Amino acid sequence: MPKIVQIKRLTLLLSLTSLTAACSLAPEYKRPEAPVPDSWQQQEVAGADTTAQAIQLLDWQSFVTDPSLARVVQVALDNNRDLKQALLNVEAARATYGIQRSEQLPGLNLNSEGQGQRLPDDLRTPGSNNVQHQYQTSLGMAEFELDLFGRVRNLSDAALQEYLATEEAANSARISLVAEVIRTFLARNGAQQRYDLASRTLEAREESLKLIAARREFGAATDLDYQEALGLVQQVRVELERIDREVRQSGNALMLLTGITEEDSLLPAEPVAGYLIQQQLQPGMPSELLEQRPDIRAAERQLMARNARIGAARAAFFPRISLTGSYGSASAELSDLFSSGQRSWAFMPRLTLPIFDGGRNQANLDLAEVRKSMAIQDYEQSIQQAFTDVADALVANDTLQREETAQRALVGSSTEALRLSQSRYNAGVDDHLRYLEAQRNDFSAKRGLVDVQTQRQLALVGLFRSLGGGWQGGGSQSLKPSLLATTEGP
């Protein structure tokens, strides 16, 4: 019969704990209103479908179409030091959450001890021995707080949201790394293309210089013609050195991003022609950006954590009840420790009621509320920055697309003008100055085409990054459902 009573008491205690754990003094969380437009102003001119139901998010493997670039990105994801640091921060936050979550459950310990002592005759109990022994073994419960007002639960909620925010920050770091590697690779590839163009131009101008030198020998060209042609050759040589410096520095930047030490072992020696990434991205509806950008999700997680900490600060004004207890056996002889009748137990409830703390609890509550207000500002700032990033990327992509079309037409005109000018110069119809001007214009137009193609690809990378692409899924997806069941949503 006593065992049945004990079981009933234990059941009642656990039920009371479960019921009180559901109580929370945290404010009901509501996502702050965000000034979200119905559509992007640049959407119709950027080739996007204004009736799109969702943002067309590509993972970076689908976004990158060039195998050599894809290989560089993967190496960076495997080796980048900053990304590794971000992932370690996630592990630290997860461990912190585990520590905080464990406080919601009582801790049980198995304790065994023995002691012996000798007392002088004037201190020992009459009829007892001078030497006394005591042995004890018990299953003890460490001090466990009955979470009547949700203090422990809110602290656990806050730790969870901070952990999830750290995961989102790691996702953001991944996206930033992918975008930066692609940007640097594209910049290097564009510089290589300009270097090849300048090299071909140098060969053509050196041949032209030889012809002018030969014509000068026969009096068909002047010293001025020769010096002007020589000046064009020197200009291209200067341009080659400038571009070579850019190629090498871009290679150094890629080595830093990828964590490798040998540039040539990873990067292609020759430039890759054409587009290395997808040329069309679907921006979708502006409201969906709140769910896709990891930096926005991280800011909201931090806001939810600050909201939960207000609940913990409010609970500090109310009584705290904690329980400590043990159940086992004790005996003066080790051989009798587990004998019948040697049962022992202890139960020590504790009530702590704050009366005067010099304003500490109120100050903690004020601090929690101010930090929530700060988190709201950070969240709204993240949203504003995200919309600005997307709008700028859409404008850049739209204008650069038209600029590339115009630049291609300019290259066609300048190439034909150079051909005609060379024919007229060889026939003696035009002077040398006009032929030199045609050479300058043709080189400038072709270099401009390489530049605008590179800039357009960089703009596409900016749009890809601003839409939250490159790394799918939020941080909460990596958690087991059981971890979120009691803590998701204050």
Residue 311 · residue 28 · CB < 8 Å? no
Range picked from 347-351, 393-397, 408-412 for highest mean pLDDT: 408-412
Whose CA is closest to 56, among 282, 226, 235? 282
Q: Answer yes or no: is pLDDT of 6 > 70.
A: no
CA 178, CA 294: separation in Å to the nearest integer?
14
pLDDT in tens, 271-308: 887 778 877 776 666 667 777 889 999 999 999 999 99
Whose CA is closest to 191, among 447, 412, 457, 463? 447
Q: Answer yes or no: is pLDDT of 225 > 70.
A: yes
- Identify the band that residue 487 occupies on the pLDDT scale cut at 50, 70 and 90: very low
Average pLDDT over residues 326-353: 79
CA 4, CA 428: separation in Å to the nearest integer?
119
Which contacts of 332-338 are long-range, i.e. CB under 8 A and separated by 24 or more positions?
332/132, 332/133, 332/134, 332/135, 333/133, 333/135, 334/114, 334/133, 334/135, 337/135, 337/136, 337/137
281 alpha carbon, distance to own chain's centre: 21
CA 43, CA 45: separation in Å to the nearest integer?
6
Give the model's pLDDT for residue 108: 82
Tell me the percentage of the chain whose pLDDT exceeds 70.
82
Give the model's pLDDT for residue 407: 95
Tell me the percentage of the chain whose pLDDT exceeds 90.
41
**Listed range (5-14, 34-43, 60-69, 175-184) with the worst mean pLDDT:** 5-14
CA 204, CA 24: separation in Å to the nearest integer?
80
Average pLDDT over residues 241-252: 94
pLDDT in tens, 356-385: 889 999 999 999 999 999 999 999 999 888
pLDDT in tens, 137-187: 878 888 888 888 889 999 999 999 999 999 999 999 999 999 999 999 999
Maximum C-alpha span of the chain:
140
Average pLDDT over residues 62-70: 89
pLDDT in tens, 232-241: 999 999 999 9
Give the model's pLDDT for residue 147: 85
Give the model's pLDDT for residue 268: 80
- Identify the band that residue 127 occupies on the pLDDT scale cut at 50, 70 and 90: low
Give the model's pLDDT for residue 336: 67
Q: Answer yes or no: is pLDDT of 482 > 50.
A: no
- Identify the band that residue 135 occupies on the pLDDT scale cut at 50, 70 and 90: confident
Q: Which two tokens stand for residue 444?
A: 């400038």
Alpha-carbon torsion angle 245, 250, 251, 256, nearest 10: 130
Please, which residues have CB within 8 angstroms of residue 384's CB and are 6 or more apart in sequence?
A: none
Residue 134 · residue 114 · CB < 8 Å? yes
- Identify the band that residue 191 occupies on the pLDDT scale cut at 50, 70 and 90: very high
pLDDT in tens, 442-479: 999 999 999 999 999 999 999 889 888 755 544 443 33
Give the model's pLDDT for residue 326: 84
Domains of the chain: 18-104+148-318+360-485 (1.20.1600.10), 109-146+319-353 (2.20.200.10)
Which backbone phi and psi does 250 adopt, to 5 degrees?
-65, -40
Q: Which amino acid is at 320?
A: R
Whose CA is closest to 457, among 272, 190, 198? 190
**pLDDT mean across residues, the chain:** 82
pLDDT in tens, 406-438: 999 999 999 999 999 989 888 878 777 888 889
CA 314, CA 117: separation in Å to the nearest integer?
49
Q: How many residues does the chain have?
A: 490
Give the model's pLDDT for residue 287: 66
Find the angle CA(404)-CA(409)-CA(413) to the nearest 5 degrees. 145
